[in-house]
């Protein structure tokens, strides 16, 4: 048979004095990279179906099995969603019945479910401090957006979030658009600003409530709160959100699975 058009090549030229990184990348990883590039470039939009495995196999001149393995990994990474009998779809934060994919909060009773109300406190444009800029990998002094909001269960405030975003990516973001949007905030980011959150890293610690946090969360000053710092990434591991949440964990907890 004819050789595939995508030949097995070193994935990247290792710099001289390289410590021994992977020298080759298998075909299916190169296909994966090509599909990822199309996702990043917007060739297929969130919620849409991508071409069938057979079509992609023809397009990339490889076998269906190789495309399959590439898609397998992308599905594992939560970039694609497979639906048997229908097709493979671009994952989306909207339309997803799981309201908050990244929120690990759960009530102490009940199973996993939380129904939370949002209340936006503030949305302002400012210049990134040195620390914010470092996390977002922008320059200090560049424009940024800060959002402050509460999550409530009934009328009990549970989470106070402070969110920082690069101003250049979120130009038209206002408190009104945040309030008006139905669905998770990451769905808004995706559909209105073309920024798709892929993965995130969180750092948790226990802190004492300061005066402002105590007021918003209606707890005594000094009460223990769970601090959750999150940095979210879009394609190519580019950081696009810094978030600091203070969780009131008297009747809720942060759940995590280890394996």
Partner DNA sequence: GAGTGGTCTAGACCACACT
Partner DNA sequence: GTGTGGTCTAGACCACTCC
Residues within the interface to a copy of itself (CB under 8 A):
77-78, 101-102, 104, 106, 198-208, 222-227, 229-230, 247, 249, 252-259
- Give the C-alpha separation, 30 to 73, whole Å: 12
243 forms part of the interface with DNA (CB under 7 A): no
The interface partner of residue 110, options being DNA, a copy of itself, none and the CB cut-off 5 to 8 Å by kind, is none
Q: Which residue has the tokens 């879009």?
A: 234
Of DNA, a copy of itself, none, which one sits near residue 200, judging by CB under 5 to 8 A according to partner kind? a copy of itself
Q: Report the site for DNA in 180-219 (rule: CB under 7 A).
A: none
What minimum distance in Å lies between the beta carbon of 192 and a copy of itself?
Answer: 22
Q: Residue 128 or 228: which CB sits closer to a copy of itself? A: 228
Alpha-carbon distance values, 85 to 16, 77, 82 (Å): 48, 21, 9
What is the rounded distance in angstroms from the CA atom of residue 220 to the CA atom of residue 29? 53
Rounded CA-CA distance 238/198 in Å is 10
Residue 204 contacts which entry, a copy of itself, DNA, none (Cβ below 5-8 A, type-dependent) = a copy of itself
Instruction: Count the neighbouring beta carbons within 10 Å of the beta carbon of residue 6.
Output: 16
Can you tell me the distance from the alpha carbon of 5 to that of 3, in angstroms, rounded to the nearest whole number?
Answer: 6
Distances (CA, A) of 140 to 46, 137, 147, 205, 233: 32, 9, 18, 26, 19
CB under 5 to 8 A by kind: which of a copy of itself, DNA, none does 247 bind? a copy of itself
Q: Which stretch binds DNA (CB under 7 A): 59-67, 91-99, 211-219, 225-233?
A: 59-67
Nearer to DNA, 29 or 101 (CB): 29
Q: Which of 35, 39, 62, 198 binds DNA (CB under 7 A)?
A: 62
Look at strands 143-153 and 117-127 and give their pairing: antiparallel
Report the interface residues with DNA, using CB under 7 A.
1, 4, 8, 23-24, 26-29, 50, 52-55, 62-66, 68-69, 82-88
């Amino acid at each position: 048979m004819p050789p595939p058009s995508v030949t097995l090549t070193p994935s990247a030229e290792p710099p001289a004095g390289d410590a021994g990184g992977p020298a080759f990348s298998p075909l299916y990883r190169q296909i994966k990279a090509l599909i990822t590039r199309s996702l990043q470039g917007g060739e297929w939009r969130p919620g849409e179906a991508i071409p069938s495995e057979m079509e992609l196999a023809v397009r990339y001149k490889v076998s269906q099995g190789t495309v399959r393995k590439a898609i397998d990994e992308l599905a594992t990474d939560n970039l694609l969603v497979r639906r048997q009998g229908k097709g493979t779809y671009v994952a989306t934060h909207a339309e997803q019945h799981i309201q908050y994919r990244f929120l690990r909060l759960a009530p102490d009773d009940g199973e996993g479910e939380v129904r939370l109300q949002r209340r936006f406190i503030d949305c302002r444009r400012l210049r990134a401090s040195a620390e914010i800029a470092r996390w977002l990998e922008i320059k200090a002094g560049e424009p940024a957006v800060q959002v402050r909001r509460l999550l409530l269960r009934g009328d009990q405030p549970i989470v106070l979030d402070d969110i920082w975003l690069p101003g250049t990516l979120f130009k038209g973001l206002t408190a009104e658009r945040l309030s008006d949007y139905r669905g998770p905030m990451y769905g808004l980011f995706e559909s209105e600003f073309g920024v798709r959150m892929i993965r995130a890293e969180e750092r948790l610690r226990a802190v004492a409530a300061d005066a402002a946090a105590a007021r918003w969360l209606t707890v005594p000053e000094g009460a223990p709160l769970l601090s959750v710092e999150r940095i979210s990434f879009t394609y190519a591991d580019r950081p696009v959100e810094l978030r600091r949440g203070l969780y009131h964990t008297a009747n809720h907890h942060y759940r995590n699975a280890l394996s």
